[in-house]
Amino acid sequence: MMWQQFVSLAGSYPLALRGLGMTVVLSLISLVLGTLLGFGLGILRTGGSRLLSSVIGAWVDLIRGTPFLVQIFLIFFILPEFGIELDAFTAGVIALTNLAACFICEIVAAGIRSVPSGQVEAALASGLSRWQRMRQVVLPQAMRIVLPPLVGQYVLLIKDSSVVSAIGLTDLTRVGWLVVQRVPNGLLVFFLVGVGYFIVCYPLIMLARRLERRMGAAHGEVQL
Amino acid sequence: MLENFSFRTIVEYLPLFGQGLVTTVWLSAISFVGALLVGIALCAMNLQRGWLFRAPAKAYIDAVRATPLLAQLYFLYFGLPRLGFVLPELVVGILALSLNSGAYIAEIIRAGILSIPRGQVEASVASGMTYTQRMRLVVLPQAFKVTIPPLLGQAIVLVKDSALLSLISVAELTRAGQLLASDRFMPAEGFLTIAAFYLLLYYGLKALAGLSGRWLGTAGART
């Protein structure tokens, strides 16, 4: 009985690897796109135009105020009514990218606001253009505030990618769900699924903690 | 396009949405209380000197934070019957939410306690207070102030996370939207309506967080 289960589990390890691969690919694509979009939105949010800033703020609130599962359902089931047919993977990438961009936007905006206004004024006085000011003066200093929560956000993104299994994408969680139909040992199967996520997420959590300590120390030095 | 959007169907299904909303609210409330208990226990273990209590608490917190709630939910849902506990889906869901949020709350409380300046603790030691007195009279009242806003933030996360319980067929708000989507093939009506209800809860809790910040003076505490 027990032995049969092990054999059956061992037999489904290619499926598990594919699931883990899907989780990693899905997260990675959304992570890159979400970071780019999030930085863009964050810069626009603090960029002076009040209208633009409040439009972005309202969108971020809408995304932060609704469950990710509901967002996925909305994208997957409603966009087709507008003539946009999506497969589960594309819908997942869109939903995750949007979610990541909204959270990263707020992180970046907070980082930019933390840069003392004297710095911006000095950059203005030195005749730097808007772009130079952002790229050479504001963003490098903002990164200190941005980096630790940004890495933390990546962990959340990887974990949230599990929700995409609800629309049938065969990621790691979905694989667990499929395997448990054949091998009725939920404890073992989902323990192994958990191990898969842990291997991906835990190094990032450690990195976030380390960054937090280092950036905190660096920040203290500057304030002294 | 959504030219067939049927407000009439939404009104027709309103009692179902109402029930779902009520279920989401009370199951989130129970889970939050459970999470507070789990969080306080974990934090107490985590603040001990010896590793005997600290190591398991740390391991638990890390394990929960590094794995998705959905996998944890399935772990309990498919795993508990294996151990001989056949519980209703609703109970499994509340258990999963409490155990998950508890790990995050433990960290919030710990951060609150550690935010109290060392000088305060040293001063109370110098005044001859015992450990219990120090905690009860000096550290905890101040830590309480700092933890309320992030705790309300965690409550918001918990309410949103409770949507995942629909996947183990708990009849909460998201499930109501799914029913409308599958019974009548009206996903737009179903999911937009529940999104609106979740936003209602979100803005309510957010306003509460803002108010609590002002009442407790957390915003001005630094200056």
Residue of B nearest to A59 (CA): B199
User: How far is B26 from B22, CA to CA, in rounded Å?
Assistant: 6
Q: Which of B162, B71, B75 is nearest to A19 (CA)?
A: B71
**Whether pLDDT at B222 is above 50:** no
Residue A212 pLDDT: 85
Subunit contact A67:B164, Cβ cutoff 8 A: yes
Lowest mean per-residue pLDDT among A182-186, A192-196, A215-219, B137-141: A215-219
Residue B141 pLDDT: 86
Q: How confident is the model at residue B2 (pLDDT cuts 50, 70, 90)?
A: low
Residue A172 pLDDT: 93
Share of chain B above pLDDT 70, in %: 96
Q: What is the rounded average pLDDT of the residues A122-131?
A: 88
Render A125-165 in DSSP notation, one character per residue: HTT--HHHIIIIIIHHHHHHHHHHHHHHHHHHHHHHGGGGG
**Are the C-beta atoms of residues A35 and A104 closer than 8 Å to each other?**
yes
Subunit contact A70:B174, Cβ cutoff 8 A: yes
User: Over chain A, what is the mean pLDDT?
Assistant: 89
Task: Kindly report the nearest CA distance between residue B172 and chain A, in angstroms.
Answer: 13
Range of the domain at A151: 2-223
Q: Which tens digit of pLDDT belongs to each residue from B147-183?
A: 998 999 999 999 999 999 999 999 999 999 999 888 8
Q: Which residues of A touch B63 (CB under 8 A)?
A: 194, 198
User: How far is A143 from A222, CA to CA, in rounded Å?
Assistant: 14
Residue B76 pLDDT: 95
Q: Which tens digit of pLDDT belongs to each residue from A23-63?
A: 999 999 999 999 999 999 999 999 878 899 999 999 999 99
**Are the C-beta atoms of residues B25 and B85 closer than 8 Å to each other?**
no
Residue of A nearest to B175 (CA): A70
Residue A217 pLDDT: 61
**Are the C-beta atoms of residues A166 and B75 closer than 8 Å to each other?**
no
Share of chain A above pLDDT 70, in %: 95
Domain B12-216 has CATH 3.20.20.70: no
Residue A218 pLDDT: 55
Q: Which residues of B touch A189 (CB under 8 A)?
A: 78
pTM of the full structure: 0.90
Q: Which tens digit of pLDDT belongs to each residue from A146-161?
A: 999 999 999 999 999 9
Residue A219 pLDDT: 52
Cα angle: A151, vertex A117, A55; to 5 degrees: 60
Q: Please report which helix (H) or strand (E) contains residue A123, including its range.
A: helix A117-125
Residue identified by tokens 């993977």 is A89
Subunit contact B71:A180, Cβ cutoff 8 A: no
Q: What is the rounded average pLDDT of the residues A5-19?
A: 83
DSSP tally for chain A: helices H, then strands E: 10, 0
Residue A223 pLDDT: 38
Q: Give the mutation candidate from A190, A197, A213 for the B interface (greatest B CB count, under 10 A).
A: A190
Q: Which residues of A touch B64 (CB under 8 A)?
A: none
Residue A157 pLDDT: 95
Residue B117 pLDDT: 87
Q: Cα-flanking dihedrals φ and ψ of residue A118, to 5°?
A: -60, -35
In this predicted complex, what is the ipTM? 0.90
Residue A15 pLDDT: 87
Residue B30 pLDDT: 97
Size of interface A-B (CB pairs under 8 A): 133
Other Cβ atoms less than 10 A from the Cβ of B192: the count is 17
> From the list B63, B160, B191, which residue is nearest A73 (CB)?
B191
Q: How crowded is the C-beta side of A145, counted as CA atoms within 13 Å?
A: 16
Subunit contact B78:A186, Cβ cutoff 8 A: yes
Subunit contact B71:A162, Cβ cutoff 8 A: yes
CATH assignment of the domain containing A30: 1.10.3720.10
Q: Which residues of B touch A205 (CB under 8 A)?
A: 62, 65-66
Return all residues near B206 (Cβ < 8 A) that are at least 6 apart. A65, B156
Q: What is the rounded average pLDDT of the residues A78-89?
A: 85
User: Over chain B, what is the mean pLDDT?
Assistant: 89
Residue B1 pLDDT: 57
**Are the C-beta atoms of residues B155 and A58 closer than 8 Å to each other?**
no
Residue identified by tokens 């130079």 is A132
Residue of A nearest to B160 (CA): A67
Distances, alpha carbon B100 to alpha carbons A191, B65, B155, B217, in Å? 15, 8, 12, 29
User: How far is A150 from A219, CA to CA, in rounded Å?
Assistant: 17
Q: Which tens digit of pLDDT belongs to each residue from B52-95?
A: 999 999 999 999 999 999 999 999 999 998 888 889 999 999 99
Number of domain units in chain A: 1
Task: Kindly report the nearest CA distance between residue A210 and chain B, in angstroms.
Answer: 15
**Whether pLDDT at A21 is above 80:** yes
Residue ranges covered by each domain of chain B: 12-216
User: How far is B50 from B48, CA to CA, in rounded Å?
Assistant: 6
Q: Which tens digit of pLDDT belongs to each residue from A95-114?
A: 999 999 999 999 999 999 99
Q: Cα-flanking dihedrals φ and ψ of residue A87, to 5°?
A: -90, 170
